[in-house]
Amino acid sequence: MKFVFSVLLFLCFNAIAFCSEENTCLEYIDIETIASLSIKKSHYFTLTGSGTMAETGSGTMSPCTGSGSISGSIYTQFNEPIKSVHVELQSSQDNYPLNTTTDIEGEYAFSPIENEFNYLITPTKDGDDFNGISTIDVLLLANLVFRPQFNISPYTYIAADINQDQQLNITDVVELLYLIIGKRDTLQESWVFVDANQQFIDESNPWPYLDMITVNELDGASNGNDFIGIKVGDLSGNANPWLNAEAETRSQVSTQLYTEDIYIKQDKIYTISFYSEELDDIKGLQLFLGHTGIDVLEIHSGILDAEKAAFHQSDQTVFASWYGVTDMESAALFSITIRADKDGFLSDQIHNYKHWLATEAYVGQSLDVRPVEIGFTKNNTISPELTLGQNSPNPFLTQTEISYTLSEEGQVGIDIFDDSGRLVFHKSHDGVSGNNTLLVNRDELNKTGLYYYTVTFRGKVKTKTMLLID
Ligand SMILES: [Ca+2]
Ligand SMILES: [Ca+2]
């Protein structure tokens, strides 16, 4: 306190500088004194040592800390503030870099920091790779790569450069596609940042751009060091700058896909076609199938182009994504070739898998994002068939043969009931495709008279009568 008092005296009588209290910086306002001390007016100083300069001349001066500041805002091209951006401040001083993060308003500040130094501000935001990403972004990216586009923001071009090599090509399409279907885990960068004052000479070729801001010879408060943040891969612009990984805003109307509910058998290979009443309007699709036992071998084109698609499977899930259509006439949207791991109806083996990236279709010129439902149609001509023949001989004395025909191999149950409805015989065995026979001996039945014999095969039941005589 004593020191401050003497400084104040010094100020009052010499009109060189002013201050309010200890540890607060002093600003020199006397030009002559500034010149004699070889410092600039903008320089901020504290006094150290004892006494006052006016009285003893023994005081020393050194640049003070805490008199400058650097701040700014970080927001999207749609003026939405971006929260939790990591901002690094580099300087040649000790204890640098300094770090902070943007708040809910997208604002950051470094204060107090020392004046007269040069600073470099660099924002980053990682670990947010899937935010705003779905197949519609691949579709838009493919359009950007393969067709001339107009009125596209330079920030969208920057978002489209998935691998950060400052050019757009099929590699970017494939890398984004692979992220969606799970063939790769991360992007090189989740978000990139551009100096908000960046001017683009060619908006369709915005590289290189300023991804950091320099402040030279900081002089007090440097505000407005703003950046525009761009979510890499989010061409549709739905990345949520406050939250991670929000799904696309989706239509309430769903799109139906249909496929035939065939019976598939273990280790056999099937090609399954999917249909839709909106066949001609669907421009892209991402499909997440959960399953209990299929192996997807190949995707075939229908309306959706197999050349513009990829799939990936892990345990009990298949992720597939189509980002383009063919110009061919087709009744099917697409087909997949699968190998069955076990027997069963398709409808019992695959389902719409609940994933944070939903199964969705992109419909119409406006690319409406629609949830997708999968339906299974029944076609009896393809369902397994069972034909039961009359036993022979009939009536019979010692033994008789029951014959039946199957459309394909599978387990069969054979039951014989007496005329009062009591089960007197049961056997199950593996039937073969085509004709099958089963011999029944007299001693396997309990009395003479009328019997009912029933053959059951995959839910189909056929019954006939036979007569055991003396
Ligand atoms: Ca998106
Ligand atoms: Ca690229």
202 CA → ligand 2 middle, Å: 17
Ligand nearest to the CA of 175: 2
15 CA → ligand 1 middle, Å: 62
249 CA → ligand 1 middle, Å: 9
**Residue 105, number of CB atoms within 10 A of its CB:** 12
Q: Are residues 345 and 366 in the same domain?
A: yes
pTM: 0.65
**In which domain, by residue range, is 51 found?**
2-63
Q: Are residues 90 and 187 in the same domain?
A: yes
How many Å apart are CA 275 and CA 332, to the nearest integer? 5
The domain total for the chain is: 4
pLDDT digits (tens, 9 = 90+) for 121-162: 999 999 889 899 999 999 999 999 988 778 899 999 999 999
Q: Are residues 261 and 242 in the same domain?
A: no
Q: How far, rounded to the nearest angstrom, does the alpha carbon of residue 363 sit from its chain's CA centroid?
A: 19
225 CA → ligand 1 middle, Å: 27
Q: Are residues 119 and 11 in the same domain?
A: no
Q: Which helix (H) or strand (E) holds 69?
A: strand 68-75
Q: Are residues 54 and 76 in the same domain?
A: no
How many Å apart are CA 137 and CA 350, to the nearest integer? 26
pLDDT digits (tens, 9 = 90+) for 104-118: 999 999 999 999 999
Q: Are residues 100 and 224 in the same domain?
A: yes
Structure tokens at 277: 């009443």
Residue from 170, 168, 165 nearest 310 by CA:
170
* CATH code of residue 363: 2.60.40.680
Q: Are residues 359 and 422 in the same domain?
A: no
Q: CB of 53 within 8 A of CB of 59?
A: yes
Q: Are residues 164 and 313 in the same domain?
A: no
- Among the candidates 195, 220, 246, a domain finishes at 246
Q: What is the pLDDT along the chain (470 residues), one digit of tens a residue?
A: 333 333 333 333 333 333 333 444 444 334 344 344 444 433 444 444 343 343 333 444 444 456 899 999 999 999 999 999 999 999 999 999 999 999 999 999 999 999 999 999 999 999 889 899 999 999 999 999 988 778 899 999 999 999 999 999 999 999 999 999 888 888 989 999 999 999 999 999 999 999 999 999 999 999 999 999 999 999 999 888 776 544 445 567 888 899 999 999 999 999 999 999 888 899 999 998 888 888 889 999 999 999 999 999 888 888 999 999 998 888 899 999 999 998 999 998 888 887 767 789 999 888 888 889 899 987 644 456 788 999 999 999 999 999 999 888 888 999 999 888 888 999 988 899 889 999 999 999 988 999 999 998 877 778 899 999 98
Residue from 156, 325, 356, 154 nearest 248 by CA:
356
169 CA → ligand 2 middle, Å: 6
Q: What are the phi and psi torsion angles at 425 (to 5°)?
A: -155, 135
Q: Are residues 77 and 195 in the same domain?
A: yes
* CATH code of residue 398: 2.60.40.1930
166 CA → ligand 2 middle, Å: 6
Q: Are residues 87 and 58 in the same domain?
A: no
Ligand nearest to the CA of 232: 1
Q: Are residues 229 and 218 in the same domain?
A: yes
Q: Are residues 118 and 217 in the same domain?
A: yes
